[in-house]
Every structure is written in C-alpha cells, then in structure tokens.
Structure 1
Amino acid sequence: MTNDNVLTLMVQAAEKAGLALLASYDPASRPPGRAAMYELGTQLEATSTTIVREALDGAVPGVDWWDEDERGRVVPPGRWWVVDGAEGAVNHVHGLPEWGVTITLVTDGQPERTVVRRPIGDLTWTAARGQGARLNGELLRVSAKTDLSAAAVTASQAGNDRGVYERFASAFVEMASRALLVRNTIPTVFPLLGLTSGQYDVFWQYEPDLPGTAAGSLLAGEAGAIVTDLAGSAWDVNAADILVAAPGLHASALEVLR
C-alpha cells in the first residue's frame, strides 16, 4: 500500500467516525453533573474508536494499536496507531463545536501521518512527514512573527496533579508578562491547529496529551513550526513536555518557559 493510500484510508476512517459523533451532537446539551459528562463522553469515545479500528485494523502491516489504559503512557518502539475517537468530548457533551477525531500513525516515537476531522464546519486537517500540512487540501503556514510581545500564545493544560497546576500557573504569569495574550483551552489539538494556520504563534503543555500533541505537532511542524521539549531537545511522543512555536518566536518562548 502506498503512503498516499494510507492517508486516504485514515481520512475515510476519521470522516466515518466523525459522522457517528455528529449524529449524537446536540448544541443544546447541558449535562447536569460530572457523572453524566463522563458517561456521555465514554459512549462517544467507544463508538467512534470502534469505527476507526474496524476501518484501519490490518490495513497497514506491522501497525499495532496504542491504548494508554492497556499499555500505560509510554509508547514503545515500532509502529502504532494513536487515536482519540472523541477529541474534545467535554465540548461535545456541552454543545460546543470544537470536537472531532484524531488519527496518527507513529513510528519509533515520531508522528508520521495524521488526520484531524472536525465535523462542525466540514474541516479535515492532514499531514505526512516531509509533505506539508493541509486543511481541506490547502497548504498551511505558521506565523511569520518574530516579536514575543506581539504573540498570541496558547496552552492546553489539563491533568490531575497539583504540582503541574502550580508549575503551569507560574509559567502562565511569566508568559503573560511577555506576550500579547495567553490562552488555556481544551482539547489539546485545536490550539495546535490554530498555530498551524498562523492564528496562534506559540503553544506549550506539561505532561502532553498524546493523541492531541501527536497529531498537532506533526501538522504544525509540517507548516513550518519548531517542535521541541522544554529543554530545547527534539520532541518525541514520550517527552515530558512540549513547546511548538513559529520559528521566529521559539527561542524567546523557550527562554521564558525554561
């Protein structure tokens, strides 16, 4: 199977799963509490992921399925499908539009191909290493900014660790004192999609959400961004943190976040 055919299959799988998510989407949805949110989100994830697996299982020889619940956070060497069947499920169940499906083929720690499908707006982002990043077929480029004081900075900090929250809060203060603005939003992939098209300029996250950063980092990198960890080293899917920035801003953002 050619590389183009692999990406086409990924797009088809994401579109089919996205339709299933769209069928249950209600802009008026307002779950009454955390238990209801969790139940709805779990159902969405299970339905969508099953569709993706049925579409891609065995389609590319030698590719296995990564599942954090089964395998833990570390992605072993080899080739893996890294999927979020309902990226932004919390948005979906609250009637917000930023949700979708992410499918990334990871090889030895590096994203190789990715598709992000957002049914609302009929939007499909695709990237293959060395071949650029596209939105509905149109090539994307990151920001040309070089001055951090003009930068729109974004993050997507979630998790359940008070220490991470405190670290993020401190970094937020430092970055807000240097940049034009700083936003923290979820899910992870959508700030990175904005960076890929130049709407945002810098993104960082501690304890990265893997499906979102695997997809978003490849898209942004293929659109010209610099992708590292917060030590300035080349990023891979097992890194403890991530910084993605337009090339003219990466060094100054890294200085602040260090």
Structure 2
Amino acid sequence: MTDAALLPAMQQAARTLGSWLAQLERPRPARTMSDFKDVFDAVDTPAAALLHQHLDPLLPGVPWAEDLSARPLPAGELWVVDVMDGAVQYLQGLPQWCISITLVQDREAVATVLHSPVLDESYTAARGHGAHRNGAPIAPSDKQHLAVTLLATSQPPFIAAQPEAATAAGRSLSTLLPLVGAVRNLGPTSWQIADTAAGRIDAFWQYGRDDENLLGATLIAREAGALVSDAAGSTWKAGSPSFLAAPPALHQQLLTLIATPN
C-alpha cells in the first residue's frame, strides 16, 4: 500500500478516536504531578488501545515509537502517534487538542494525519502528494512584512530537561515581539505548524528536541510549500535542537533574527 493510499484509513482511525475522546467525561484537573499521571493514563491507555485496533492491521508488525524524548528515533518503519496531542488542554476542558498519526520511514515522515474533533477538521499529507485540510489543498501565507504577521511558538514537553532551549526561547521571543504583529501559543505544536502550512498562522518557531510533535507537522508544512529548517538555517531532521516553518518570503527574515549557531 502506498503512503498516500494509507491516508483514508489513518483519517478514519483518527476520527473514530476523536469522537470517543470528545464524548468522554473530562476528569477533574489534577492537583499534583502524580495525580496528573493517573488522570492522563486513565484516558491515554484505552485511547491507545482503540487506535491500535485501527492502525495495526494496516501495516502488520510495524511498531509504535515510544518515549522519543529519551532516545534517538530508530531506523526503519514505525508509527509516531499522539492520541491526545495537547493533553494538557484536553484534560483542562479546553478545545485546543488533536489526534496525531504519522508513519515514519528511516527517520522521515511519509504520511500523516492530524484531526481536531472540536473543529471537525483534518490535515493530511503524504510524501510527494501535497498537503490538504478536509480534502482541499493548502498553502502558506503570502505576507511580506513581519509587522503584519501572526507568529506562533511553543516548547517541548518537560522543557526543564533542555535548559538551553528555554534560554533560547526567551531570547528569541524578546527579539521578535517588537517586530511582528503578534505572537501566540495556540495549543498543540503539530496543529500550529499545520495552520502555518495553511496560512492561518504566518510562521512557527520552537527550540528544543521534539520529534513526536514535529515529524508529521514538518511533512505537512513542506508538502504545502513552507520552508522548514532549524534556527541555524540547516534542514530540520529528527533530533534537531530547534525548528522554524515559514513561507519563503518570511523564512530568511525570521532566520536572521532567531539564528543560533550549529
């Protein structure tokens, strides 16, 4: 089965899980870290089991990546899945969350689906086949001047383990705030990058290693025509310490402002 041919089944799996999550009674917000883990696991475990039922028959024997923050992405074919991308928002009763399903081959995304049950929208992309939202092709913003742009940024989970990323994030935010129209963090990293690919957001940047959230979204951005690099201007790849997605007209302008040495 080709990468593009997988997308309808991947999208149906995401929609099925999204409907289940949307109808689930939200637990009360956690009061401690151990409480948060219990609340998270109570949703994540059955959600993952439901998604396994749909994905495992598509490519029998293909494993799911686990704990990408703690180890390099392995070679070969695997699923990179987040059943609650934006779990903090979901568990707080906020609408900014989605389901993320990406097929990776040799550390590069080849097919991806993001689905937001709240918006009833799905972003899809397959390598060499473009990027779409609800079946319609998408393209990044055509803005020319930073002063009229809406930028977005976020940070990897548990950024305390990457202190250099937190420092760089603060520095870049101080640099960009006086020069752009606005900067926001609008929820899941993957969805914000997809919205950048579709021109709803003009550019997205982030510091820190965050393969789980960036692999599929990078495919969507590139297939839509956005430029994707790290903050030093090198091609973004799994394990890169920073990320920038922007239209061609804005990419170099932003890179000059946030550039960090390799």
TM-score by length of 2: 0.89
Given that 1:6 and 1:60 are in contact with CA atoms closer than 8 Å, whether structure 2 keeps it comes out as no
Cα shift at 1:42: 2.4
Provide the C-alpha distance between the structure 1 equivalents of 2:212 and 2:134, rounded to a whole number of angstroms: 21
**1:174-193 paired onto structure 2 within 5 Å:** 174-193=175-194
Provide the C-alpha distance between the structure 2 equivalents of 1:222 and 1:188, rounded to a whole number of angstroms: 17
- The CA deviation string for residues 138-188 of structure 1, in whole angstroms up to 9 with x for no partner, is 111110012222221111124124432222111100111322222234321
Q: Which amino acid aligns with 1:154?
A: A
Provide the C-alpha distance between the structure 1 equivalents of 2:182 and 2:190, rounded to a whole number of angstroms: 19
Instruction: Quote the sequence identity (%).
Output: 32
Aligned residue for 2:115? 117
**1:87-126 paired onto structure 2 within 5 Å:** 87-126=85-124
Provide the C-alpha distance between the structure 1 equivalents of 2:61 and 2:85, rounded to a whole number of angstroms: 25
Aligned residue for 1:165? 166
Aligned residue for 1:46? 45
2:258 aligned with 1:257: yes
Aligned residue for 1:12? 12
Given that 2:154 and 2:185 are in contact with CA atoms closer than 8 Å, whether structure 1 keeps it comes out as yes
Change (3 A) 1:3 1:194: closer
TM-score by length of 1: 0.90
- Residue 253 of structure 2: SS of its match in structure 1? helix
Q: Which amino acid aligns with 2:192?
A: P
Change (3 A) 1:172 1:242: same
Given that 1:44 and 1:85 are in contact with CA atoms closer than 8 Å, whether structure 2 keeps it comes out as no
- Residue 228 of structure 2: SS of its match in structure 1? strand
Given that 2:98 and 2:188 are in contact with CA atoms closer than 8 Å, whether structure 1 keeps it comes out as no
Provide the C-alpha distance between the structure 2 equivalents of 1:198 and 1:109, rounded to a whole number of angstroms: 27
Provide the C-alpha distance between the structure 2 equivalents of 1:29 and 1:248, rounded to a whole number of angstroms: 45
Provide the C-alpha distance between the structure 2 equivalents of 1:206 and 1:37, rounded to a whole number of angstroms: 25
Q: Which amino acid aligns with 2:65?
A: W
- The CA deviation string for residues 43-82 of structure 1, in whole angstroms up to 9 with x for no partner, is 222222222222212522563321117x933112211110
Provide the C-alpha distance between the structure 2 equivalents of 1:163 and 1:24, rounded to a whole number of angstroms: 38
Q: Give the root-mean-square deviation of aligned CA atoms.
A: 2.1
- Residue 255 of structure 1: SS of its match in structure 2? helix
Q: Give the gaps of 5 or more residues in structure 1.
A: none
Aligned residue for 2:66? 67
Q: Which amino acid aligns with 1:173?
A: S
2:74 aligned with 1:37: no
- Residue 249 of structure 1: SS of its match in structure 2? helix
Provide the C-alpha distance between the structure 1 equivalents of 2:204 and 2:71, rounded to a whole number of angstroms: 21
Q: Give the gaps of 5 or more residues in structure 2.
A: none
- The CA deviation string for residues 94-139 of structure 1, in whole angstroms up to 9 with x for no partner, is 1111112100011122111100111112211111112111111111
Aligned residue for 2:147? 149
Provide the C-alpha distance between the structure 2 equivalents of 1:207 and 1:45, rounded to a whole number of angstroms: 24
**88-97 vs 60-69, greater mean Cα deviation:** 60-69
Cα shift at 1:201: 1.2
Provide the C-alpha distance between the structure 2 equivalents of 1:223 and 1:138, rounded to a whole number of angstroms: 11
**46-55 vs 222-231, greater mean Cα deviation:** 46-55
Cα shift at 1:35: 4.0
- Residue 192 of structure 1: SS of its match in structure 2? helix
Q: Tell me how many residue pairs correspond in the alignment.
A: 256
Q: Which amino acid aligns with 1:106?
A: V
Change (3 A) 1:62 1:46: closer
- Residue 76 of structure 1: SS of its match in structure 2? coil
